[in-house]
Structure 1
Amino acid sequence: MRTYCLTLDLINDPELIREYEKYHQKIWPEVYASIKDSGIEKMQIYRFANRLMMTMSVNDAFSFEYKAAKDAANERVQEWEKLMWKYQQALPGAKPGEKWMLMNLIFELE
C-alpha cells in the first residue's frame, strides 16, 4: 500500500470553512463510491486555519490518471467538485485548474 499527501487552501472565511467541514461530515454517496472504486483504501483530511492536508492510502490499482479520468466522466463527482471550488483556492504555483497539490515526502521515521 502506498500513501500520498496532498495540500490545498480554503478561502479564508470562517463561515465558508464551517460549510466546507459540514459537507465533509457526510460526503455524497457517489463521491464516496468514486473514491473507493479508484483504489483509495483510506483518506483523511486535516485542517489548520485555512490550510488543508489530505492523506490517501491506496492499493496497487490506484493511479492519479485513472482517478482523474473516472471523475471527469462522473456527472455527480463533477457537481461535487464545482461546489467544493466555492470554498477552495489554488495554492501559489498551481497551474490553472489544479486543486490538490501533491506534497513531497522529505522525512520518514520507521
Structure 2
Amino acid sequence: MKRFCLTLDLIDDPESIRIYEQHHAPGAAWPEVTQHDIDCGVLNIEIFRTGNRMFMILETEDDFTFEKKAEMDAANPIIAKWEALMWGFQQPIPWAKPGEKWVLMERIFKSGL
C-alpha cells in the first residue's frame, strides 16, 4: 500500500464550506465517483479541514500512479462533472502550479515503527 498526503484550500466562505462538507458527508458522495476511485486503485480517502485549508490522506494499491488516475479521470464524464462542481468550492493554494488542485505534500518527519 502507498500513502499520499495532499492539500487544497476551500473558498473562505462559511456557507460555501458548509455546502462542500454536505457533498462529503457519509453517503453523500456520488457512488460513481467513489467506484471510480476504487477502479483507479484508491483504497481509502480521508479529508480533514481547518479553516479553509484541507488535508487529504490517500491510500492506494502499490501500482497506483497519479498519471494513470489522470488518464482514467479524463476518460470519465461523471468525474469531469464532479470535479467541475467541486472546483466551485475550491481554490488553489498559493504555490500550486497553474491548473493544479490538490498539491502533493512532502513528508518532513516520521516517528515510531
| TM-score bracket relative to the smaller structure | over 0.9
Q: Please name the residue that 2:19 is paired with.
A: 19
Aligned residues: 110
Structure 2 segments unaligned to the other structure (5+ residues): none
SS in 2 for 1:18: helix
Secondary structure at 1:3 match in 2: strand
Q: Secondary structure at the match of 2:24?
A: helix
**Residue 68 (structure 1) shift:** 0.6
Alignment of 1:37 onto 2:39:
yes
TM-score normalised over the length of structure 2: 0.94
Q: How does 1:42-53 map to 2 (within 5 A)?
A: 42-53=44-55
SS in 1 for 2:110: coil
Q: How many percent identity over aligned positions?
A: 51
- Aligned residue number for residue 83 of structure 1: 85
Where structure 1 has 5 or more consecutive residues not aligned to the other structure, the ranges are none
C-alpha distance after superposition, 1:58-103 (max 9, x if no partner): 1112110000110011000000000000000011121221000000
Q: 2:67 aligns with which of 60, 65, 75?
A: 65
Corresponding residue SS for 1:62 = coil
Deviation at 1:2, TM superposition (A): 1.3
Deviation at 1:5, TM superposition (A): 0.2
Q: What is the TM-score of this pair, normalised by structure 1?
A: 0.97
